[in-house]
Amino acid sequence: MFKKIIVAVDIAQIDKGAKILKKAEALADDGGEIVVLNVVEDVPGYLAIDVPGHVIENNRKQALDTLDKMRAEIKVRTRAELRTGQPASNILAAAEAHHADLIMVASHRPDISNYFLGSTADRVVRHADISVLVDR
């Protein structure tokens, strides 16, 4: 059905990520590709100054290792990508850069903060130029 799928994974909610990755595998065309994407929000400068550089680098390595373990269980061609910054805009940028035809993202039950700030899934759905599958 889809040639290129972006699967946005939150490392803090790895079970949800694994669930949507399996769904992406079922939706991918023969010869299709899945990009497993994790976006790490920037650490504010006033906090980053107190964090040793190796801690941040170790966290990035652990995130990539986690994505690679997830990829190993999928039969469709996959690649892992780690980005830094605002999650929704980076998910949309990755979809554009990879010429994706589907974005998959997990969503949590909304709470009061979502009504003021909006969730990542909400922002992706509102601004995407391609199909978005939101899994709950």
Rounded to two decimals, what is the model's pTM?
0.87
pLDDT of 50-109, one tens digit each? 767 777 778 888 999 999 999 998 999 999 999 999 999 999 999 999 999 999 998 876
**Rounded to an integer, what is the distance from CA 83 to the centroid of its chain?**
9
94 φ, ψ (degrees, to nearest 5): -65, -40
Q: Please name the amino acid found at residue 81.
A: E
- pLDDT, mean of residues 29-35: 95
Cβ(7)–Cβ(21) under 8 Å?
yes
* pLDDT range class, residue 48, cuts 50, 70, 90: low
Q: What is the dihedral of CA 63, 66, 71, 73, to 10 degrees?
A: -170
